């Protein structure tokens, strides 16, 4: 049981969304030039209280009662062909970072939409790799948007037990798996979803809902041009009822976790260089001249040090903790539910940390994770970083920094506060370069989308853990905030190894496993579509 819990909790932390970065870098101009230097007022992190003992329990939602036996039979009868469809996708490389096979994969996706009977199936040109748009008109009341990504991460073939683009069936302790780049992130779950469509259409003639599919080929690059795809269909997308992101939702022990929200993010670089304030402008100088020349590295260190308390955990930027929406009643119930399965020691063990900040535990740690903005240094560098000794006074130093924003905070406003604080402390010369930013996203557990998916999960396996919001980020705001649609990553099945060697997707689980195999994954998608169509 311990290791099962361990693995389930691990799944909470592994969420394969790349950062959604802006394509354009932009300098953040000082807002308060030459403001007087003054110490920031006493700042404390906000403490939000959970005022209810009410607990959201997904077990109270009845399992989906529908049964679509003809469709299930079609899936079972065609399972070998369905596996072949997954292999066909995985055998087509589509490495966005290296532009390997990307357009061929886009064309394959488009052609599959045509073959399934979509009325619209077209490539969507962007300033980067093309998107793919598909529209299936079922004449239904409800319309579901499906987000897809057809690109994959690069590979180091020598690290793989089976070649990453052969998509072989491999026997593993968990059962028979497809091993391939993209197996679980996200070709496997996505093509399984299309297989479900195929069996519905073959058996029933048409789908129970209308579908709008937006597929991008740059998710692994941070989705820099995905907004252009949304732009092209924005008015039609607004008319939909929800957004589904097909994914492998089960841990190795079969437990399912659902994520209803994510934090926003601003990712930026802070840089000190020599110049008017002091220090060498154009190149490093001999380190002994620190005695006469200012140092951009010390400058950056001193500027950064003004941003946080001595322990690095409380941000001293005025207003940094403002605008956070306190826990709603719904979120409080979800937190109480999540707290029932939360185990700090297991998570700390996974991270190899001895304790959370301020020795927080349990529900207090969950609330901190969801409602406190964080300020993290992702990287810092300047000068000589090789082995041994080299004596230089570097002419520049840079830090990569991200702030994660709870629901309610505005990315540009947060960055402007940091800019204003540095200016007020006398660090107007520190350049801030925004590399990416978007706000938080939140979907209600009460939406028909989420309720339908929980019903289907409850039909096939144990009731899911529902996590109200990750401390991590994904660009779901494009749907939730921009288009006003609920969004849910959902699907049975298990896979792992995203961005790593030996990525796999379980096709036929081992005897006694609670993981869904491919047939069950597809049947669950069938049920979700019918449940949504009701």
Q: Which of residues 482-521 bind a second copy (CB under 8 A)?
A: none
CB of 157 to a second copy, least distance (A): 22
Q: Which of 43, 140, 293, 420 binds a second copy (CB under 8 A)?
A: 293
- Do 394 and 284 contact (CB within 8 A), yes or no? yes
15-44: contacts with a second copy (CB under 8 A):
19, 21
Q: How many CB atoms lie within 10 A of CB 185?
A: 28
Of the ranges 82-90, 124-132, 182-190, 308-316, which one interacts with a second copy (CB under 8 A)?
308-316
Q: Is 99 in the site for a second copy (CB under 8 A)?
A: no
Of the ranges 108-116, 124-132, 364-372, 486-494, which one interacts with a second copy (CB under 8 A)?
364-372
- Do 426 and 277 contact (CB within 8 A), yes or no? no
Q: Is 434 in the site for a second copy (CB under 8 A)?
A: no
Nearer of residues 172 and 281 to a second copy, judged by Cβ: 281
Distances (CA, A) of 109 to 96, 104, 166, 208, 217: 15, 9, 19, 22, 11
Nearer of residues 461 and 473 to a second copy, judged by Cβ: 473
Q: Which of 151, 368, 429, 503 binds a second copy (CB under 8 A)?
A: 368
- Cβ neighbors of 19 (< 8 A, separation 6 or more) are 222, 265, 267, 436, 473
CB of 321 to a second copy, least distance (A): 12
CB of 311 to a second copy, least distance (A): 7
Nearer of residues 258 and 369 to a second copy, judged by Cβ: 369
CB of 472 to a second copy, least distance (A): 4
211-230: contacts with a second copy (CB under 8 A):
222
Q: How far apart are CA 340 and CA 355, in angstroms?
A: 19
- Do 24 and 430 contact (CB within 8 A), yes or no? no
Total residues belonging to the chain = 534
The H-or-E segment that residue 102 falls in is helix 102-116
Q: Is 189 in the site for a second copy (CB under 8 A)?
A: no
Strand boundaries in 151-225, DSSP class E: 168-172, 175-179, 210-216
Half-sphere exposure of 130 (CA within 13 A, CB side): 17
Of the ranges 1-9, 212-220, 292-300, 519-527, which one interacts with a second copy (CB under 8 A)?
292-300
Q: Which of 178, 369, 418, 483 binds a second copy (CB under 8 A)?
A: 369
Of the ranges 198-206, 237-245, 326-334, 372-380, which one interacts with a second copy (CB under 8 A)?
372-380
Half-sphere exposure of 232 (CA within 13 A, CB side): 20
Q: Which of 3, 98, 111, 305 binds a second copy (CB under 8 A)?
A: 305
Q: Is 422 in the site for a second copy (CB under 8 A)?
A: no
Nearer of residues 140 and 380 to a second copy, judged by Cβ: 380
Q: Is 377 in the site for a second copy (CB under 8 A)?
A: yes
254-273: contacts with a second copy (CB under 8 A):
263, 265, 267
Q: Is 291 in the site for a second copy (CB under 8 A)?
A: yes
Residue whose token pair is 């959970």: 50
Quick one: which of 213, 189, 181, 166 has its CA closest to 98? 181
Output the six-digit token pair for 466.
């529902």
Q: Which of 376, 446, 484, 510 binds a second copy (CB under 8 A)?
A: 376
Distances (CA, A) of 75 to 2, 64, 171, 175, 511: 35, 19, 22, 20, 20
Burial class of residue 3 in the structure, from the number of CB atoms within 10 Å of its CB (0-12 exposed, 13-18 middle, 19+ buried): exposed
128-187: contacts with a second copy (CB under 8 A):
none
Q: How far apart are CA 215 and CA 90, in angstroms?
A: 16
Nearer of residues 287 and 326 to a second copy, judged by Cβ: 287
- Cβ neighbors of 223 (< 8 A, separation 6 or more) are 18, 20, 21, 216, 475
Q: How many CB atoms lie within 10 A of CB 29?
A: 12
In the stretch 465-484, what mask flags binding to a second copy with x, by CB under 8 A?
A: -----xxxx-----------
Nearer of residues 70 and 283 to a second copy, judged by Cβ: 283
Cα dihedral: 495, 498, 502, 506 (round 10):
10
Of the ranges 177-185, 206-214, 382-390, 524-532, which one interacts with a second copy (CB under 8 A)?
382-390
Q: How far apart are CA 295 and CA 395, in angstroms?
A: 7
Give one DSSP letter per residue of 522-534, joined into a string. Answer: HHHHHHHHHHHH-
Of the ranges 59-67, 291-299, 329-337, 520-528, which one interacts with a second copy (CB under 8 A)?
291-299
Q: Is 322 in the site for a second copy (CB under 8 A)?
A: no
331-360: contacts with a second copy (CB under 8 A):
351-357, 360
Nearer of residues 283 and 510 to a second copy, judged by Cβ: 283
């Amino acid at each position: 049981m311990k290791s099962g819990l361990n693995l389930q909790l691990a799944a909470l932390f592994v969420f394969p969304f790349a950062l959604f970065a802006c394509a354009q870098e932009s300098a953040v101009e000082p807002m308060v030039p030459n403001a007087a230097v003054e110490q920031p007022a006493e700042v404390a992190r906000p403490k939000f209280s959970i005022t209810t003992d009410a607990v959201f329990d997904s077990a109270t939602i009845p399992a989906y009662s529908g049964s679509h036996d003809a469709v299930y039979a079609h899936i079972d009868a065609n399972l070998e062909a369905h596996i072949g469809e997954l292999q066909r996708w995985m055998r087509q490389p589509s490495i966005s970072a290296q532009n390997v096979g990307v357009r061929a994969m886009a064309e394959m996706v488009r052609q599959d939409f045509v073959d399934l009977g979509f009325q619209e199936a077209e490539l969507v040109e962007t300033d980067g790799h093309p998107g793919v748009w598909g529209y299936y008109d079922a004449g239904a009341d409800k319309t579901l948007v499906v987000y897809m990504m057809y690109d994959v991460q690069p590979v180091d073939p020598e690290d793989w037990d089976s070649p990453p683009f052969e998509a072989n069936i491999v026997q593993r302790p968990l059962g028979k798996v497809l091993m391939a780049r993209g197996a679980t992130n996200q070709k496997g779950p996505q093509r399984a979803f299309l297989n479900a469509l195929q069996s519905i259409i073959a058996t029933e003639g048409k789908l129970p809902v209308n579908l709008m599919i937006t597929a991008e080929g740059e998710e692994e690059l941070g989705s820099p041009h995905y907004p252009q795809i949304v732009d092209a269909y924005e008015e039609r997308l607004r008319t939909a009822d929800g957004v589904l992101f097909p994914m492998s939702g089960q841990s190795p022990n079969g437990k399912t976790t659902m994520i209803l929200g994510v934090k926003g993010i601003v990712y930026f670089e802070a840089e000190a260089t020599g110049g008017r304030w002091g220090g060498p402008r154009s190149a490093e100088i001999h380190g002994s001249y620190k005695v006469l020349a200012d140092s951009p590295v010390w400058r950056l260190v001193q500027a950064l040090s003004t941003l946080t308390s001595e322990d690095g955990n409380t941000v001293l930027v005025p207003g940094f903790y403002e605008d956070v929406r306190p826990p709603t009643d719904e979120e409080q119930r979800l937190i109480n539910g999540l707290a029932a399965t939360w185990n700090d020691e297991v998570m700390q063990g996974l991270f190899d940390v001895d304790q959370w900040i301020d020795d927080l535990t349990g529900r207090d740690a969950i609330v901190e994770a969801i409602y406190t903005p964080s300020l993290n240094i992702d990287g810092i560098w300047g000068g000589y970083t090789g082995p041994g000794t080299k004596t230089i006074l570097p002419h520049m130093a840079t830090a990569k920094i991200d702030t994660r924003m709870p629901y309610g905070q505005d990315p540009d406003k947060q960055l402007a506060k940091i800019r204003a604080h540095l200016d007020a402390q006398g660090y107007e010369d520190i350049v801030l370069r925004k590399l990416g930013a978007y706000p938080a996203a939140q979907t209600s557990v009460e939406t028909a989308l989420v309720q339908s998916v929980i019903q289907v999960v409850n039909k096939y396996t144990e009731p899911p853990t529902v996590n109200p919001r990750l401390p991590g980020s994904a660009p779901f705001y494009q749907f939730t905030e921009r288009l006003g649609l609920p969004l849910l990553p959902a699907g049975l099945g298990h896979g792992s190894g995203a961005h790593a060697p030996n990525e796999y997707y379980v096709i036929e689980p081992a005897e006694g496993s609670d993981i869904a195999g491919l047939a069950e994954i597809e049947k669950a998608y069938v049920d979700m579509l019918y449940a949504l169509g009701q």
